[in-house]
Amino acid sequence: MDVDTRHWIGGRRVANADTFEDVSPLDGEVIAVVSRGGTAEVDAAVAAAKDAFVGWSRTSPAERAELLRRVAAGIEARIEDLAQVETRDNGSLLRSHRRGVMPRVAMNIRFFADHLSSLVHSDFDTRGHRNHVTWDPAGVTAIVTPWNAPLMLATWRIGPALAAGNTVVAKPPEWAPLTASLFADIAHEAGLPAGVFNVVQGLGNEAGAPLVAHPDVRRICFTGSVPTSIKVGESAARNVTPVSFELGGKSPLLVFDDADLDLAVDLAVEQFDNSGQVCLAAVRMLVQDGIYDEFRARFLERAATLVQGDSRDEGVDLGPLVSKSHFERVDGFVKRAVAGGAEVILGGGPNDELNVATGGFYYRPTVFEGVDRTMEITCQEVFGPVLTLQGFSTEDDGIAMANDTDYGLAATIVTGSQERAERVASAVRAGTVWVNCFFVRDLSAPFGGSGRSGIGREGGTWSFDFYCDVKNSVFAPKGWN
């Protein structure tokens, strides 16, 4: 289907003479030629958002909620289009997009529209004075997102930002820029006023950098890698602009010897979802000694049955990596791990047969054993279908190994003991802990990372804390006419 690849600024399409090519990882074909924005387009988009903020910030929460519900309905009506375009663009599974991701995209908008009605704080008294707390809109919000779940991650910020009364300039990922453009069409058709939502397409250093450095931007929401976050943080600091950072991870899967092994194996195999291109993936499998051998055998048996292929086929479990350069980056990690003495017990390289047949960027599910804490493969985020397997003896050893990382996005614990689950959940450093489950996400729950996995929490009221300027007005009991 046709997607408009120009920017969306102030309620109209704006083209650039400069463009970049958008390549599908399914087959290496160029699927779109996209406008390549820079400072001029960013300035125009921020100016449009600043103008639109005057009116949008004055609409009542009920009016905003009504409009955003229309946007959510527009998304629901186009789930199939969005799913098809996203799969072609970033290579993630079509069935996941159809059944999970795109319905969640609509929910990202609807949930925060609905949540507005619960954003009230009771007035309270200080020596006869009335304290009145309000969530005031903050202003122009920059939303910069990565390619692994482009529209889902963007709308998870666009929803609360718009609901709060802010206006938005979004910079989609250059490796998967298309669904942001479809979202602009849907929001426009739903009646969102011109300038309330804007898209500047382009590369990170050309379009993202001027956006996060812009002095009229009042909030920066960045999802991406740690190295980029450091640059974004430096720009934000110059303008004292508040940031929300959702960054990488190196999360543990802690399997104790009292665990249900079927469940543990299911959860371990799930870590190959989206070809491992998931920030939350529990890529460090830590398994207690008493069940290590049995877990290893059963996990490898199951992982060997995963089907890799075209992400549009129902029976496929793993698609490609998002781009040629990311494929090479993942391969570099694997090669260096092998050179450093890690032992490959599954996969260990590209799926050459599939790559030759399709022209795509497929990498085989890979598992390493014989690794230790000093190796790059156990410390750095690979962001591909690459897991490590290590044993541990006592509960304290397991906790220490789980926490032996600079990151702290998530941790998954598998155990049959509720007491142990409570102890370990409280001892691991992570923004989200899952016990005997994985990826259960509620939009009202706080979400974010500890350590180098991020700054801040979003979800429910936490999102409004970030996107709003929370104000306390104190009214004296006297002085009224």
Q: How far is the CB of 278 from ligand NAD (least distance, A)?
A: 7
Options 212, 330, 382, 413; binder of ligand NAD; rule CB under 6 A: 212
Size of the site for ligand NAD (CB under 6 A): 30
Q: Is 208 in the site for ligand NAD (CB under 6 A)?
A: yes
Nearer to ligand NAD, 148 or 166 (CB): 148
Q: Is 323 in the site for ligand NAD (CB under 6 A)?
A: no
Q: Are 347 and 385 in contact (CB under 8 A)?
A: yes
In 3D space, the residue among 369, 352, 348, 349 whose CA is nearest the CA of residue 360 turns out to be: 352
Find all residues with CB under 8 Å of 28, minimum gap 6, and list them: 324, 358, 359, 360, 361
Find all residues with CB under 8 Å of 337, minimum gap 6, and list them: 368, 371, 375, 376, 377
Report residue 159 as tokens: 């929803």
Strand pairing partners for 197? 168
Catalytic residue at 279?
yes
Q: Is 430 in the site for ligand NAD (CB under 6 A)?
A: no
HSE-up (13 A, CA, CB side) for residue 265? 18
Between CA 181 and CA 33 the distance in angstroms is 13
Catalytic residue at 246?
yes
Q: How far is the CB of 312 from ligand NAD (least distance, A)?
A: 23
Annotated catalytic residue within 174, 246, 381, 458: 246
Q: Is 108 helix (H, G, I), strand (E, B) or coil?
A: helix
Q: 234 to 293, contacts with ligand NAD by CB under 6 A? A: 246-249, 279
Report residue 163 as tokens: 């609901």
Q: Is 223 in the site for ligand NAD (CB under 6 A)?
A: yes
Q: How far is the CB of 89 from ligand NAD (least distance, A)?
A: 13
In 3D space, the residue among 452, 461, 15 whose CA is nearest the CA of residue 245 turns out to be: 452
Q: How far is the CB of 21 from ligand NAD (least distance, A)?
A: 15
Annotated catalytic residue within 279, 381, 395, 458: 279
Q: Is 148 in the site for ligand NAD (CB under 6 A)?
A: yes
Contact segment (CB under 6 A) with ligand NAD among 61-69, 121-129, 203-211, 351-359 equals 203-211
The number of angstroms, rounded, from the C-alpha of 423 to the middle of its chain's C-alpha atoms is 28
The CB-nearest residue to ligand NAD is 204
Between CA 291 and CA 260 the distance in angstroms is 11
Nearer to ligand NAD, 200 or 389 (CB): 200
Q: 356 to 415, contacts with ligand NAD by CB under 6 A? A: 381, 383, 409
In the chain, the amino acid numbered 96 is S
Please state, in angstroms and as integers, the Cα–Cα distance from residue 401 to each residue in 201, 385, 392, 409, following that order. 41, 21, 8, 15
Nearer to ligand NAD, 82 or 213 (CB): 213
Nearer to ligand NAD, 246 or 395 (CB): 246
Nearer to ligand NAD, 141 or 415 (CB): 141
Strand pairing partners for 306? none
Helix residue ranges per DSSP H, 94-225? 94-96, 102-115, 150-164, 178-189, 209-212
Contact segment (CB under 6 A) with ligand NAD among 73-81, 123-131, 228-236, 436-444 equals 228-236
Nearer to ligand NAD, 212 or 389 (CB): 212
Q: Are 438 and 270 in contact (CB under 8 A)?
A: yes
Report residue 198 as tokens: 């804007």
Q: 330 to 349, contacts with ligand NAD by CB under 6 A? A: none
Q: How far is the CB of 219 from ligand NAD (least distance, A)?
A: 14
In 3D space, the residue among 232, 256, 263 whose CA is nearest the CA of residue 245 turns out to be: 232
Report the phi/psi class of residue 55: left, alpha or beta, with left for phi > 0 and alpha for psi in -120 to 50. alpha
Contact segment (CB under 6 A) with ligand NAD among 32-40, 97-105, 201-209, 310-318 equals 201-209
Q: Tokens 């207690």 — which residue?
A: 288
Q: Is 55 helix (H, G, I), strand (E, B) or coil?
A: helix
Q: How far is the CB of 241 from ligand NAD (least distance, A)?
A: 13
Q: Starting from the edge strand earliest in sequence, which strands make up the sheet with 124-126, in order?
A: 124-126, 129-137, 468-475
Tell me the per-residue interface mask from 157 to 176 with ligand NAD, x by CB under 6 A, - otherwise: --------------x-xx--
**Active-site positions?**
246, 279
Positions that interact with ligand NAD (CB under 6 A) = 144-148, 153, 171, 173-174, 204-205, 208-209, 212, 223-225, 228, 231-232, 246-249, 279, 381, 383, 409, 449, 454
